């Protein structure tokens, strides 16, 4: 694998682990305001992002590269409302989509079609993530200050069971 590709994939391992860390901070926030369903949903996000990071980690090794360990940035830890937290997730996922697009640009630039094929999985995953979070944001906006609506959504989100995607 070309060094430029390896370096770019390494950066993404760090970005995915940061996402996991950010979502863990959100899980803790939801615990602190007793929205245990939202907290459980966030735990699924934490595991999913860790899975993404490990998927790239494994791929770097599979291609004969080496994973470089960098510091994971400190995430935000407080949000002014559940809506603000979910809006943050949506904005964050949109940024991650851009990072994946940049990675594909690198793969095409260095003619690494294997890496391009590997990264296509993430493109599909990002569409799904943005759609899921976008829907929750829309519902929270509709709910507004209606606490019974919020508790209903919280209980629905609490039903999330994370299962590892099939390779
Ligand atoms: Fe790893 Fe939420 O994208």
**Going by CA atoms, what residue is nearest to atom 1 of ligand 1?**
49
Q: Which residues line ligand 1 (CB under 6 A)?
A: 16, 19, 49, 52, 93, 96, 129
Task: Supply 72's token pair.
Answer: 């994971």
Domain that residue 107 falls in: 3-157
- Could you tell me if residue 163 is inside a domain? no
Whether this prediction's pTM lies above 0.85 is answered by yes
d(CA 85, CA 30): 9
Which CATH number covers residue 36? 1.20.1260.10
What is the CA(147)–ligand 1 centre distance, in A?
Answer: 29
Residue 89, C-beta contacts closer than 8 angstroms, at least 6 positions apart: 23, 26, 45, 133
- Could you tell me if residue 109 is inside a domain? yes
- Could you tell me if residue 63 is inside a domain? yes
Per-residue pLDDT of the chain (167 residues; tens, 9 = 90+): 999 999 999 999 999 999 999 999 999 999 999 999 999 999 999 999 999 999 999 999 999 999 999 999 999 999 999 999 999 999 999 999 999 999 999 999 999 999 999 999 999 999 999 999 999 999 999 999 999 999 999 999 999 888 877 65
Separation of CA 125 from chain center: 10
Domain count, the chain: 1
């Amino acid at each position: 694998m070309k060094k430029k590709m390896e370096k770019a994939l390494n950066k993404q391992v760090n970005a995915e682990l940061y996402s996991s860390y950010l979502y863990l901070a959100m899980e803790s926030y939801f615990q602190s305001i007793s929205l245990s369903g939202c907290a459980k949903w966030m735990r699924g996000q934490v595991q999913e992002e860790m899975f993404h990071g490990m998927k790239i980690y494994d791929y770097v090794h599979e291609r004969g590269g080496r994973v470089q360990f960098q510091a994971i940035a400190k995430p935000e830890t407080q949000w002014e409302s559940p809506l603000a937290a979910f809006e943050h997730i949506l904005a964050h996922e949109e940024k991650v989509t851009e990072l994946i697009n940049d990675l594909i640009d690198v793969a095409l630039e260095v003619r690494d079609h294997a890496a391009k094929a590997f990264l296509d999985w993430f493109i599909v995953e990002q569409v799904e993530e943005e759609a899921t979070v976008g829907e929750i944001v829309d519902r929270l906006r509709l709910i507004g200050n209606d606490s019974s609506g919020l508790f209903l959504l919280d209980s629905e989100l609490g039903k999330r069971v994370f299962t590892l995607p099939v390779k």
